[in-house]
């Protein structure tokens, strides 16, 4: 692992997102279902080879204990080694925490989005993982079945909410930062998220208090010139301007409401309050400069807009600050990041193929 880490992160002072993509198996026995059930079967088989006198129930109980004990040790030591080698990295596992609220197809109209209570309890049992993590990386990938629907909004709300709840569980003096993985397209397609679903994903995550969004992509995005140009057009016309809208609004709210020492979070988590620039006083312009496109913001925040932010949002202070408006030195809640982050991983070849 040390050689792999050195190759990926040559600088010992690396201080960025440090995500371990761990999807082959899950550390909790009961969550290894469907194709992952092979790990349970093989674990039982291994126990039987060593203890032929055990009953089926005893063999499974022993296999469960051995599997979960080894999984905890392996994943914990992986994080501990990574943190010792790159101590400033924000280390965590991709897809953790998860709340498995994928039951919207069972009864779409009645879907509430809420994480099943059993899965919430299982996340509580992973306290050893949260204690060893420096950040959380849940996913809010949206399937097309949820397109522009109240159910899609509820789906994302529950996932982000569960991650923020888990972020409070460790014994450290601040909440773990939450970086939410999202896709600019519906899962398994090249169909762009609608404007409404950009609000339900990026906008909702920002308003609820996530530290940032990681926009993920794959090789399909740049497979050919047609795909590449399609994505470039979406970035320039819709996605880019919306990202600038949200990041500018979150920065302004932090400056005006939290003295730049905290992040604005919905006062009521189930409200429809968002951190958006008002079209009454702001313009978001897309300007072409040669082969590049820039998104510019013109305007200023009015007093009535500040008052509205103060009414709808509260401050969660960065580490070292506290008070209603984060103006006093003290414990604080969160590790500091300078601005709300949206990191795009849309392949480094994306722009080159479109020039």
Q: What is the pLDDT of residues 104-128, one digit of tens each?
A: 989 999 999 999 999 999 999 999 9
CA 209/CA 200 separation, integer angstroms: 14
Q: How buried is residue 272: exposed, middle or buried, by Cβ count under 10 Å (0-12/13-18/19+)?
A: exposed
**Residues in the chain, how many?**
355
- CB count within 10 Å of CB 99 equals 23
Helix 117-124 / helix 150-166 crossing angle, nearest 10 deg: 20
Positive/negative CA dihedral, 145, 146, 148, 151: positive
Model pTM? Answer: 0.92
Peptide bond before residue 215 is cis, with ω within 30 degrees of 0: no
Q: What H or E segment, with its residue span, contains residue 6?
A: helix 2-8
Average pLDDT score over residue span 285-306:
91
CA 149/CA 197 separation, integer angstroms: 8
CA 161/CA 183 separation, integer angstroms: 18
Whether 87 shows a pLDDT value over 80: the answer reads yes
Q: Out of 102-106, 208-212, 257-261, 285-289, which region has the weakest mean confidence (pLDDT)?
A: 285-289
Residue 32 is given by DSSP the state -
Q: How buried is residue 75: exposed, middle or buried, by Cβ count under 10 Å (0-12/13-18/19+)?
A: buried
- CB count within 10 Å of CB 159 equals 25
Question: Cβ neighbours of residue 161 under 8 Å, at least 6 residues apart?
Answer: 208, 269
Positive/negative CA dihedral, 116, 166, 159, 31: negative
Question: pLDDT tens digits for 153-179?
Answer: 999 999 999 999 999 999 887 889 999
pLDDT band at 44 (very low <50, low <70, confident <90, very high): very high
Whether 355 shows a pLDDT value over 50: the answer reads no
Average pLDDT score over residue span 211-227:
90
Could you give the angle at the alpha carbon of 333 between the alpha carbons of 268 and 211, nearest 5°?
70
- Give residue 54's pLDDT: 95
Question: Which DSSP string do the residues of 58-107 spell out, in sequence order?
Answer: HHHHHHHHHHHHHHHHHHHHHHHHHHHHSTTSEEEEBT-S-----GGGTS
Residue whose token pair is 């959380």 = 136
What residues are annotated to the active site? 23
Q: How far lies 301's CA from each of 138, 252, 276, 277, in Å?
A: 32, 8, 11, 8
- CB count within 10 Å of CB 164 equals 23
Q: Out of 13-17, 75-79, 173-177, 239-243, which region has the weakest mean confidence (pLDDT)?
A: 173-177
- CB count within 10 Å of CB 233 equals 13
Question: Which DSSP string do the residues of 259-321 spell out, in sequence order?
Answer: TTSEEEEESSTTS-------TTTEEEEEEEETTEEEEEEEE---HHHHHHHHHHEEEEEBTTE
Mean pLDDT of the chain: 91
3-state DSSP assignment of residue 16 = coil
Q: Out of 93-97, 232-236, 310-314, which region has the weakest mean confidence (pLDDT)?
A: 232-236
Residue whose token pair is 């978001």 = 284
Whether 347 shows a pLDDT value over 60: the answer reads no
Do 11 and 88 touch, CB atoms closer than 8 A?
no
């Amino acid at each position: 692992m040390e050689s792999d880490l050195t190759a990926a992160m040559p600088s010992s002072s690396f201080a960025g997102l440090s995500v371990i993509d761990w999807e082959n198996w899950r550390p909790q026995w009961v969550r290894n279902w469907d194709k992952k059930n092979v790990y349970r079967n093989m674990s039982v088989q291994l126990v039987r080879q060593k203890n032929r006198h055990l009953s089926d129930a005893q063999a499974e109980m022993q296999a469960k204990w051995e599997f979960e004990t080894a999984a905890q040790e392996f994943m914990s030591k992986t994080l501990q080694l990574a943190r010792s080698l790159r101590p400033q990295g924000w280390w965590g596992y991709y897809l953790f925490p998860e709340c498995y609220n994928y039951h919207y197809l069972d009864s779409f109209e009645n879907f509430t989005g809420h994480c099943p209570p059993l899965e919430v309890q299982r996340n509580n049992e992973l306290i050893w993982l949260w204690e060893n993590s420096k950040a959380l990386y849940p996913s809010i990938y949206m399937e097309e079945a949820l397109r522009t629907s109240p159910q899609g909004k509820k789906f994302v709300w529950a996932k982000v909410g569960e991650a923020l709840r888990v972020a409070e569980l460790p014994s450290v003096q601040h909440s773990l930062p939450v970086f939410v993985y999202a896709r600019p397209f519906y899962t398994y397609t090249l169909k762009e998220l609608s404007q409404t679903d950009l609000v339900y994903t990026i906008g909702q995550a920002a308003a609820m208090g996530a530290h940032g969004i990681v926009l993920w992509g794959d090789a399909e995005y740049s497979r050919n010139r047609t795909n590449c140009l399609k994505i470039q057009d979406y970035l320039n016309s819709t996605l880019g301007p919306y990202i600038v809208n949200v990041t500018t609004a979150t920065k302004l709210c932090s400056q005006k409401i939290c003295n730049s020492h905290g992040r604005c979070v919905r006062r009521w988590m189930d409200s429809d309050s968002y951190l958006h620039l008002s079209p009454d006083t702001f313009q978001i312009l897309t300007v072409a400069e040669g082969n590049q496109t820039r998104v510019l913001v013109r305007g200023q925040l009015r007093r009535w807009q500040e008052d509205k932010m103060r009414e709808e949002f509260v401050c969660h202070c960065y580490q070292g600050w506290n008070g209603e408006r984060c103006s006093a030195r003290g414990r604080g809640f969160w590790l500091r990041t300078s601005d709300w982050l949206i990191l795009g991983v849309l392949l480094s070849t994306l722009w080159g193929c479109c020039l």
